[in-house]
Structure 1
């Protein structure tokens, strides 16, 4: 398959699975040669758990690499582009071992849906926070015109590569006039769409202040847990007022630089799967479903410290800080075996929150209120379920993704 056919196949899949609609974003994705923005990418060669991990850097200039690289670039998955914080320009293809992947291009379905949500239009001034591989900036250039696009990233190696690849290659349909900047606060002035391509703890107030009337900002908001993210959608009305909501979503960008993360270790997962727990019961109360995303978003903030094991067959949740865990398995219709371990009764915490969530109308979206003292609060429409987002920290606009 050649790149043109691969792009068409990728866009067709985005239409089928991710709701990509006819319009400027779709047209831009059809025109965007991803092999220009990502002429090199990593593929993992080591088995899960193998130490040290091994990756091969594939190079578009090497004919033997092109078939596999084409599948990576247009397969819709995350594309691994940086190992151990290295420069992207001047690399030699081959194997790397140890350390970790430090930058990747986001899953294409997520990027496409967010770009559609931004409602990009010709002539808009766009601020793209988190340049990464430059895909978002390239699409914005194609739709809005590259003279009004500013993209920032804290990783100089990423901005160096994006500058060269956006501006120096004639095959890109747009990008020569885009301004690529390194770490620091944006001086883009008032802009309409603002795209933040990494997760944050709250909507960045400094970016909200830059929204022009009619402008929209999108940023994923999460706690330290990666399990149940929200999407902050912030708009400034034609009259200058801010209207915002926090939507429960299934997937989100990776956390921004320096943001605390908690995980379930492999050893912890094994203990949850095999140990008997502190106590067990057979319950007629059903666990929340995966579709109850508004409930899980509230749990992420109101209960705190919980991580879901999405690789488990049934509901498994752990609290790494205290070692508590929950395992729920169906035994027959309307009956579940519930096993609890540790100082936290996670099952009771969740069931108590279910009652509150349902009393609030089972929302999947919450109003996001900006308070006079700088605080931010998520509130259900009826006001019966709410929580405060973390207190502000210095904005690091341009965190790498």
Structure 2
């Protein structure tokens, strides 16, 4: 590999991102053309083959070209496993990755940074997005927090190889980094179920927070909020069906032993579970049942769509019989009642698109609302 090879690949990547509309301004184009993504992938990455992951080491033919594809490249599995640990395949869940460049760049554009801004990044990951921020603003104006010490260490090596030395913190990103506050911008490269007010407290009035808001039913969207002088942040969802791995403290709990689905009470459902195949409807359902996980099971030789709230001990199991859906619910909270009420109200209001939803974060918590059409 030569410097010329890498430079050509970076220019080609910038051209593709600009053509797709993710890369929109000159300063970020200069950053994409300058920052070598492959330096953050020297340890290799995993690629999916069927239901398994296989390592792609840095010495494999074609590795460099793959580094400059517009793909998310998984760099850690099951919390500790990196490509050099595996000979063959692994079937576990990814826990860290280099996000696809189009999303990284879109978020940096949507962050609306200006020269001289100080930025807090939540989730260093491989360090590639951190490097882009350093090139755009300067090392001394970038603070990045990573919960995983090993991931942070590898990012530090990659950043150093590129000549960047920002303030890297190992810790819980949900707590931000108050010692460096206040910040002009906060950008979050993991998903969250609820935006912590800590981020608002550490952002200057007029500052912007950009984060992916989602939940345990796996529907998520970018949210951009502006912080007011009163310590309240207001904003909108931006649309686009953005997905990030959830922040580790906000991951769902293990399901454990499933409840007895023969218990509870059964009725005809006003809304069938097939509505959850729609991204927007699923986002609305998450608002109604934020602690529920969704799964599919075969019960009594029939396919069921199931919601389980482990913490509350509540559940709902839905099955289709002809054109009619039935729901059986158990536990202290009727989960599907809450989901139905929310979905029917959203539909009565004209099923507004997610990019019309408003988000407000106060010291008391988060509220997501939608307008009537």
* Aligned with residue 203 of structure 1, among 195, 209, 224: 195
Question: Does residue 26 in structure 1 map to residue 29 in structure 2?
Answer: yes
Alignment CA distance shift 1:122-1:296 (3 Å): same
The structure-2 alpha-carbon separation of the partners of 1:4 and 1:157, relative to structure 1 and needing over 3 Å to count, comes to same
Q: Summarize the Cα distance change of 1:150–1:87 in structure 2 as closer, same or farther, 3 Å threshold.
A: farther
TM-score where L is the length of structure 2: 0.74
Give the alignment of 1:110-259 within 5 angstroms.
Answer: 110-167=103-160, 169=161, 172=162, 175-183=163-171, 185=175, 186=177, 187-223=179-215, 225-237=216-228, 242-247=232-237, 249-259=240-250
Q: Is the 1:87–1:157 Cα contact (8 Å) retained in structure 2? A: no
Paired residue for 2:70? 76
Deviates more, 1:105-114 or 1:225-234: 225-234
Distance in 2 separating the partners of 1:371 and 1:93: 44
Extract unaligned runs of 5+ from structure 2. Answer: 259-265, 297-303, 310-314
- Alpha-carbon distance in 1 for matches of 2:211, 2:12: 28
CA distance in structure 1 between the aligned counterparts of 2:240 and 2:33, rounded to whole angstroms: 26
Residue 116 of structure 1 and its aligned partner are, at CA, apart by: 0.9
Indicate yes or no: 2:9 matched with 1:6: yes
Number of equivalenced pairs: 337
- Is the contact made by 1:189 and 1:210 (CA closer than 8 Å) also made in structure 2? yes
Superposed displacement of residue 370, structure 1: 3.5
Is the 2:22–2:103 contact (alpha carbons within 8 Å) kept by the matching residues of 1?
no
Following superposition, the deviation at residue 96 of structure 1 comes to: 5.6
Q: CA offsets per residue over residues 62-116 of structure 1, 9 Å max, x none?
A: 2xx141x23432221111112454487xx85862655744321122222221111
Structure 1 residues 324, 94: CA separation in 2 closer, same or farther (over 3 Å shift)?
A: closer
* Aligned equivalents of 1:257, 1:147: Cα separation in 2: 28
Do 2:252 and 2:293's aligned partners in 1 also have CA atoms closer than 8 Å? no
8 Å CA contact 2:329, 2:335 repeated in 1: no
- Quick one: structure 1 residues 279 and 81, their matched pair in 2 at CA, closer, same or farther if it must change by over 3 Å? same
State the match for 1:357 in structure 2.
346
- Structure 1 partner of 2:312: none
Partner of 1:375: 365
SS at the partner of 1:55? Answer: strand
Kept in 2, the 8 Å contact 1:203–1:232? The answer is: no
Structure 1 residue 190: Cα displacement = 0.7
Aligned residues: CA RMSD = 4.0
Label 1:36 to 1:115 Cα distance change in 2 as closer, same or farther (>3 A).
Answer: same
Give the TM-score of the pair, scaled to structure 1.
Answer: 0.70
User: If each structure's helix is expressed as a fraction of its own residues, which one has the higher value?
Assistant: 2
Deviates more, 1:91-100 or 1:122-131: 91-100
Matched position secondary structure for 1:28: helix
- Within the alignment, does 1:39 sit opposite 2:38 as a pair? no
| 1:301 counterpart (276, 284, 287) | 287
1:388 corresponds in structure 2 to none
1:131 and 1:162 map into 2 onto residues whose CA distance is: 7
**Aligned-pair CA distance for 1:207:** 1.3
Change (3 A) 1:211 1:280: closer
Distance 1:337 1:209, change over 3 A: same
Unaligned runs of 5+ residues in structure 1 are 269-277, 310-315, 329-335, 385-401
Q: Structure 2 matches for 1:257-276, cutoff 5 A?
A: 257-261=248-252
1:84–1:99 Cα contact (<8 Å) kept: no
Cα 1:73–1:320 shift into 2, 3 Å: farther
Alignment of 1:15 onto 2:14: no
Change (3 A) 1:104 1:371: closer
Question: Deviation of residue 17 (structure 1)?
Answer: 3.6
Deviations along 1:180-202, one digit per CA (max 9) or x if unpaired, are 12115512111111111111221
